[in-house]
Each structure stands twice: as structure tokens, then as C-alpha cells.
Amino acid sequence: MLTRAVLYGQDLKQEELNQLLDRLGGDRETAGAEYNRLRRKLLNHFRLIGHSAPDEAADRALDITAAKLADGAVVQDVASYAFGVARLLGKEDQRAQFRLDKFRRAFTPPLPPDDSKDRLLKLCFARLPETERSFLLRYYAGANVDERARLRELLALELQATLNTLRLRAHRLRKKLRHCVRTCPAE
């Protein structure tokens, strides 16, 4: 049982392990059993929070606790201290996972467009009445924001409607297109 702790925690020194065992129990058998129980609890904790490497994290928490005890840190309850270390290791892992996910998203190429959805959208758009198709094409015309705003004001004057009325009409037509794409059988 003690060799397992030494195998997992490469930087755990024998004197640090001895001090940790002395704090965990009176005799070596009781201390070893307490060490294993604490390690299992730490392992369960790391699995529960979704740590990327729960085995290594449990051993690392025990290694850090043992090193602090060997350095003369005043610790009332070894298990509580080990769980405090585990909490910090968990936060560190979450930050690392967040950075890794952010990196992956930044360098993952975008998915190619789904041709079947494009075909369905074109089919549904063609099924709209000519006035609705014309409205959508004119409403979304323009190369940039300023040009689109100017063209929408002209469209509103032409249709004798407010800009809010145009927005609502465009929203309803987009909703109609989404429904058609979802319910239309793929051809």
C-alpha cells in the first residue's frame, strides 16, 4: 500500500511520506489504511468535479499535503487540508481545460456548409409568393450596416410603413422559412 503512494507521487520523499503517515494514524497499518481511504475520497472528489486526470490529481494533493507537513506547516486536520489543496488543484485544472477548449475552438476549421439545408432553404424561398421574396431581398440588401439602414428607410417610405413594421415583417418571414426548412422532406 505504501509503494503505491511512492509510485504515483514521484516527487514524494520518504521522510515526507513518513510525516504524513504519522499524522494520519498511530501505527503504520492504521496510517496506511487512513492514507488509502483519504486517497479514495480525493479520487472521488476529482472524478465528481470532472478533473481531466483524477488519479494524478489525488496523488498530487497528497504529495503537496505531505510536503507542507514536512516543511513544518501547522495543520489541524490533515484530511481537511488535503481537500483544500484538492479544491485549488480542481480550479487550476478547470482553468487549463477552459484555455484548451478556447484554443481548440480558435484553431478548429469551420464545418463545411450543409448542402442539404442550403437546397432546402432555396426551395422554401422559391415557394414564397413573389412579393415576400422581393421584400426579403430588398430588406437584406446592402453591403454594410449604413447602406442597409439607408435602403430600409427608403423601403419603409415606399411601403408607407415604419421601420418596426418592416422588422416585424422580416422576422415573420424568417420564421416561416425556418418552419419550411424543418418540415420540408429532403429531396
Taking the whole predicted model, whether its pTM rises above 0.85 is answered as no
pLDDT tens digits for range 60-73: 999 999 999 988 88
What average pLDDT does this structure show over 80-95? 94
CA distance 116 to 44: 46
CA distance 79 to 74: 13
Inform me whether the pLDDT recorded for 3 exceeds 80: no
What average pLDDT does this structure show over 33-60? 93
What average pLDDT does this structure show over 111-129? 80
Least confident of 5-14, 53-62, 140-149: 5-14
What average pLDDT does this structure show over 98-102? 82
- For the chain, how many helices (H) and strands (E)? 9, 0
Please give the residue that has the higher pLDDT: either 110 or 38.
38
Query: Residue 101: which pLDDT band, with cuts at 50, 70 and 90?
Result: confident
Q: Is 138 exposed, middle or buried (0-12, 13-18, 19+ CB in 10 A)?
A: middle
| H helical segments located in the chain | 2-8, 14-24, 28-48, 54-70, 78-107, 115-127, 130-139, 145-159, 163-183
